[in-house]
Structures are given as C-alpha cells and as structure tokens.
Structure 1
Amino acid sequence: MESPSTDTTTLFSNQSTGGCGRETTLENLVFGGYYIVVFLLALSGNSLALWIFSRQRGTSSPANVFLLHLAVADLSYAAILPLRAAYHLTWGHWPFGEVACRLAGYLFYVNMYASLYFLACVAADRYLAVVHAVRSLKLRQARHAHMLSFALWALVTVSMAPLLLSRQTSEVGGVTVCRQLYREKASHRALVSLAVAFTPPFLATLTCYLMIVRGLRRGSRLEPALKLKALRTISLVLLIYVVCFLPYHASRATYILGYGHPGNSCRTRRGLMLANRLTSSLTCLNGALDPLVYLFGAEKFRGSLRKLFCRDSAGSSGATTGELKGTHESSVSVKSEF
C-alpha cells in the first residue's frame, strides 16, 4: 500500500464553496455523526461478542474461532472512529498529530482486509460443514482455524506496515489534513494493490455461496432448519461484502483511473473524492454488522445471549444450559456448528 503524497494548495482556492477537496459544513456534520453512531454500535456489539466467546467452555468450532478474530479486528478499528468523527466535527482539521494519523490509516486497512479474509474463512467453513460434513471433520478443527487466523493477521499487518513509515499529514490551506480522510493517493500501483487484496476473498466467498446452494439442491443430510441457518449465515456475509466493501473498491478504482485525467474539471474531481469518502465510510459499517454474523453463525453465541437475557427465568436458564451442554457433547456433528 502506497502512502499518500502531498498536494499543492491549488485545490483549495475556493474553500468557501468546498473547493475540489474540502468537505462542506453539512458533509462534515453528517460524517461526524455517522462515525459516532457506528462507533457505539461496533463497540457494544463486538465487546459483547468477545465477552461471550471468552466465557465459552469446551471445544470451539472453527467458525467461532474466525468470528472471534473478526471481533478483535472490528474493535481495533472502532477504537479510532472517534478520531475520524473529531476530524469532521472540527471542519476537516486533524489535531491529533502525525502518529495518530498514521495509526488511523493503518488500522483502517488492517481491519478492512482482515475482515474480508475472516469472513471468507467463515464462508469456506460453512461450505465444508454443509457439502463435506464428514470428510472435513479432521480438517475443521479449532487449532487449524487459529493457525490460519494468525497467519492472516501476519499477512495483513506486515503488508500494511509501510503506512506506518510514510508521512500521512500535511498543511493545506492553513489547516492540517490527514491523508486517509482528505484524499488518498491516485496511482495505478494502488489499483493493483486493491485488486490483489480484495478479489481473492470476494471470489472465494461468492464461490462458497454458490456451491452451498448447489449442494443443498442436490440433497443434504442436514435438517431443513439447519439448511436455512447455513444459507442465512453465508447470505449475511455476502451482504456485508456488497454493502461495506464492494462499493469502496469500485469507487476507489474509478477514482484512481479518473482523478488524474487532465480533462477533468474541479467539480468532477470533487465528485470522485466525495464518492471515495462516502464508500470509505461504508467500510466502517462492517463493524456494526458483523455481530449479526455472530448471531446467525455461532450456536453457542445465540445460546449465551438467551442465557444472558433470560436469566431471571429459571426454566429458560435451565433450557439454555441444557442446549449449551448438548452442543458441547455433540461438537463432532454438523448440527452443533450452526
């Protein structure tokens, strides 16, 4: 990932009307409020998920392992959302310094691509559980899922490390701007990076979904209710891809290809930059939507939630305890995985 370059101040000759790059007052208010709401949703949902996962006993399923790492990725990025909100609520000024700007950009990409790959792992696990339930038992073990997860963390954190080494702030029009929030670099090398990072997990997830549907049509030993749960999980993963990640990468590609064109007017460039900011903000939404994947993709997570919110009812608590115990005892079966 390349670091943004310093722009000249020519893009800001008309700051009163937003120029080619600066956000308007309305845009700053909308972005600032949006990041605060997403921060609260992501923090509460993923904190609850980590708390529940940490309290679970017994052998964990591969899906739960991937979802645990996904929650860690979401929380790591949610921690810097207040900085993004403050940037917009101070009208496009970055008051936190160079280190915080580098960290904000670094965590943005680490969270996004870690989430992409962990969601793809969830999709692949659902495929193996539905289509190759018996043959994949030896492969689908928690220790294998942890090994793969740590390998993915190493891949993402190392590949994004150059963002921590390059300067990310500059003085433009008398204010300090953070490149990740102002204007990302438009280079064809960045376009190649986008394609390499996004295309494999997206195609893998889409392929798993199609093969699951095909497998269920051909017949499966799963009960109808469990088939529906499997389809819900993978459909939700695909929805997150389509809502949170696909618009950003499509807009980013358009931005890279079109921004530097010599025939573009200031209005066209500003439109490309605004689209890039809007779709970039959508990627943050995955932190608020991922808890829904935990809800549909982890049986023990649902059981723990029922126990948490129904503890006042002795009968409900007893039933939930029985469900959790039964899930643990039948962990080798496909049913316990949904």
Structure 2
Amino acid sequence: MENFICILDVHGWHLNFFIVFVFKMVKMDTPTMEEFSQFYNQSSEDCGGATDWENMIFGIYYILIFFFALIGNCLALWIFSCQRGVSSPANAFLLHLAIADLSYVIILPLRATYHLTGGHWPFGEIPCRVVGFLFYVNMYGSIYFLACVAGDRYLAVVHAVRSLKIRRPLYAHIASFSLWFLVIVSMVPLLASQQTSEMEGVTVCLQLYREKASRHALISLAVAFIPPFIATLSFYLLIIHSLCKGSRLESALKLKILGTIGLVLLIYVVCFLPYHASRTIYILSYGHPSTSCEAKRRLMLANRLTSSLTCMNGALDPLVYLFGAEKFQGSLRRLLCRDKAGGSGATSGDLKGTHDSSLSAKSEL
C-alpha cells in the first residue's frame, strides 16, 4: 500500500496505474504544499518569474488557440455526427480525438486569464485541479488516438484485404473507450490533492506547468510518450515503404496518404516532441546544485513555452480530419458550398475502378 501511495508523485501523475503494475517496487516521495511553496518562491523570487510581456504573450496565444481549436473541432464533431451510412475505424478514432481536443480547449480561457492577470489564479482550487487533469487527458489521449489512427492506416494500406474482418468501427470504439478509461483513471489522482497556494497575496495554480517534479517522473514520461510515438512512427514508415515498393493505389490517393502522414508527424514535431524533450531536461537540471539562477529561469520559461505548444495540437488536428476522415472533405464542401452533387461525386469518383486493396484503402482514407 505504501508503494501505491508513494508512486502517485509521478510527472503529472499520468499513467500511474500502468506504472503501479509494471514498477511495483519503485518508491517516490510525495511533495507537500510547503515544498511546493518553497520551490515556487525560489523559482519566482530568487530567479525571477514570468515578466509582464511573457504573461501577455502567453495569454494572447491561448486565446487564439482557443478560437481556432474550438471552431475546428466543433465543426468536425458536427460533420461526424451528420454523416450517413457506414462509418469506418478511422472515423471512430478521429471522433474520439476531436472529443479529447475539446476537453482541453474549453479550459484554455482560464489559462489565458491566469497569465493576463500577472500569474494570479482567481478561479479557486477545483478549477485549478481540473485544468491540470484535462491537460494530461488531452495530451496523452491525443497521442494514443493518433497512434491508433496510424495503426488503422497501416492495416488499410498494407494489409487491406486481410484486415477487413478486424477493421470494424465497433472494435475501434471499444479500443477508444478502453483508452479513455486507462487515461482518465491514471489522471484521477490529479483531482485529489490541493494544487493552489497563496504567495504574498497572489494565488498560484501549481498544476498548470508542474514546475516541481521528482526525477522519478522520467519513468512516467517514458511510459506515457515513447510507446505510442514509436508505434506511430513505425506504422507510417511501413506505409511509406509499401507505397514506394510499388503499391497499386492511384497517385492521388498516395499523395493523400502521404499528406496525412506528414500532418501527423508535424503535430508530433511541433506539439509533443519539444515538450517531452524540454521536460526531461527540466527535471534533470532544474534542481541540480550547480544550475545557475539564470539557467533555472530559462529552464522554467522553456517548460512553459513547450507546454503551451502542446495546446496547438487542438488547432492542427482538424487538418488531420480533413485529409484522414472518410468523406470529410465532401461533407465540408457540401456545408460550405451547398453543392451536394459535387461533393458526392468527388467521393464516389474515388471509389470507382479500383483493385480490392485500393478499394479498402479508399473507403478509409
């Protein structure tokens, strides 16, 4: 039981229950609020907190991401819900990805307010916990759903005919709900501990950027990010190899597939890789005795900057829906241009005169 309690002090406490099962003998010390307060005072007073300009830039940035992501993901959910006919596994995974994005987009105004008020959290304890909870649910939910999309793409392109029996929307929804359960359960401890602290009349939400973390958090960081990243990269490399080897898919469809791959990899490079690389350096270096005050200030700023970049995936994911969801382009065209004939014609034209493997891939891509 002691191991179970102590292990909750993992980076953001994400994927705690995975680690409980895999690393039962790992013991971690849970930081107290006094330690949090002492750490924050050292980082913000001794080394300088965020400047007014930095707070203003962060605040405006979060507002812009909020509007772009809200519009794109609400439009995607509306199109997914209005589509008629048989769905596809790709659509199922992308639907859950849009829900994950919206779960975090809705609280971005709170994060913007925090910065626009000079680092003061006026919303109270519970919203502070919820903001941190939804941050990790969105980030790791998105990462794993993108991995599922990559796996489905691989089966549709490389093993089109043989995978027809297992590539069912029902199975995709079951897998998605299982991922939701695992991610949400692993984040629940974020809602159970106090995360606000009073610093000279200013309320600080300690959950926003997790600027206090043990080196044991690196275990959680690796378990949460590396497996889905390697899986996504491997699936897409295998798809590219298959296309280059001599796939029977049409040239236009090949370009569409490569475009989807490029977008997903762009999301990883812009949104996820910088955060996890910076977070690793931050955990290893910030508390080291030889780290200068100026270096700590830069590490803290890099941690906040890369954390803000993860929010951009909510604005970029709608581009994946545009290229990756079945008939999404046709539905969007009908919505914007009121041209039902043109939209349905483009969709049906993609499905004519193809080989069995090409037919399966087209129905999903």
Farther-moved stretch of structure 1 (32-41 vs 292-301): 292-301
Are 1:96 and 2:119 counterparts? Answer: no
- 1:239 aligned residue: 266
Does the CA-based 8 Å contact 2:158-2:239 persist in structure 1? yes
Structure 2 Cα separation of the partners of residues 328 and 96 of structure 1: 52
Equivalent residue, structure 2, for 1:294: 321
Measure how far apart 1:184 and its partner are: 2.5
Letter paired with 1:114: G
Offset, 1:13: 7.4
Q: Is 1:273 the equivalent of 2:300? A: yes
Residue identity over aligned pairs, in percent, reads 68
- 1:193 and 1:276 map into 2 onto residues whose CA distance is 17
Alignment of 1:135-214 (within 5 A): 135-181=162-208, 183-214=210-241
Check if 1:317 corresponds to 2:344. Answer: no
Say what the alpha-carbon RMSD is for the aligned residues: 2.1
User: One-letter code of the match for 2:341?
Assistant: G
Q: Which moved more, 1:101-110 or 1:215-224?
A: 215-224
Q: Distance in 2 between matches of 1:127 and 1:325?
A: 23
Assess, with a 3 A threshold, how the Cα gap between structure 1 residues 211 and 13 changes in structure 2: closer, same or farther.
closer
8 Å CA contact 2:322–2:329 kept in 1: the answer is yes
Does the 8 Å contact 2:37/2:197 carry over to 1? no
SS of 1:211 mapped into structure 2: helix
Answer whether contact 1:76 1:111 (CA < 8 A) is retained: yes
- What letter matches 1:317 in structure 2? K
Match of 1:35 in 2: 62
Find the aligned partners of 1:234 and 1:5 in 2 and give their Cα distance: 44
Q: For the Cα contact (< 8 Å) 1:128–1:136, is it kept in 2?
A: yes
Cα deviation, residue 174, structure 1: 2.7
Aligned CA distance change for structure 1 residues 29 and 13 (closer, same or farther; 3 Å): same
How far 1:221 moved relative to its partner?
Answer: 1.9
Paired letter, 2:83: Q
SS of residue in 1 equivalent to 2:84: coil
Asked whether the equivalents of residues 209 and 303 of structure 2 are also in contact (C-alpha less than 8 Å), the reply is: no
Q: Is the 8 A contact 1:12 1:20 kept in 2?
A: no
Q: 2:4 corresponds to which residue?
A: none
Q: Distance in 2 between matches of 1:169 and 1:11?
A: 11
Q: Distance in 2 between matches of 1:161 and 1:39?
A: 24
Q: What per-residue deviation string (whole Å, max 9, x for no partner) do you get for residues 167-217 of structure 1? A: 111112331101123543221221111110000110001101111111112
Asked whether the 8 Å contact 2:278–2:303 carries over to 1, the reply is yes
Alpha-carbon distance, 1:264 to partner: 1.5
Task: State the alpha-carbon separation in 1 of the partners of residues 304 and 333 from structure 2.
Answer: 39
Q: Distance in 2 between matches of 1:208 and 1:152?
A: 19
Task: Name the aligned partner's letter for residue 260 of structure 2.
Answer: T
Measured against aligned partners, the alpha-carbon deviations of 1:148-175 in whole angstroms (never above 9, x if no partner) come to: 0000000100011110111111112331
Q: Whole-Å Cα distance in 2 between the matches of residues 139 and 305 of structure 1? A: 29
The equivalences for 1:21-32 within 5 A come to 22-32=49-59
Q: Structure 1 length as normaliser, TM-score? A: 0.93
Cα distance in 1 for partners of 2:43, 2:314 equals: 36
Q: Tell me, in whole angstroms, the C-alpha distance in 2 between the residues paired with 1:120 and 1:337.
A: 16
- State yes or no: 1:72 paired with 2:99: yes
Tell me if the contact between 1:259 and 1:269 (Cα under 8 Å) persists in the aligned partners: yes
In the TM superposition, residue 12 of structure 1 has moved relative to its aligned partner by: 4.3
Name 1:306's counterpart in structure 2: 333
Amino acid at match of 2:244: R
Is contact 1:11-1:20 (8 Å) kept?
A: no
Q: Which amino acid aligns with 1:79?
A: I
Query: CA 1:10 to 1:164, structure 2 compared with 1: closer, same or farther past 3 Å?
Result: closer
SS at match of 1:150: helix
**Letter aligned with residue 115 of structure 1:** S
Verify the 8 A CA contact 2:260 2:320 in the aligned structure 1: yes
1:221 and 2:248 matched: yes
Q: Partners in 2 of 1:98 and 1:182 — Cα distance?
A: 15
Aligned counterparts, 1:48-67, within 5 A: 48-67=75-94
Structure 1 spans left out of the alignment, 5+ residues: none
C-alpha spacing 1:327/1:148, structure 2 compared with 1 (3 Å): farther
**Counterpart residue identity of residue 320, structure 1:** G
Q: 2:156 aligns with which of 129, 146, 163?
A: 129
CA offset at residue 21 of structure 1?
Answer: 5.2
Q: What residue ranges of structure 2 are gaps of 5+ in the alignment?
A: 1-7, 13-30
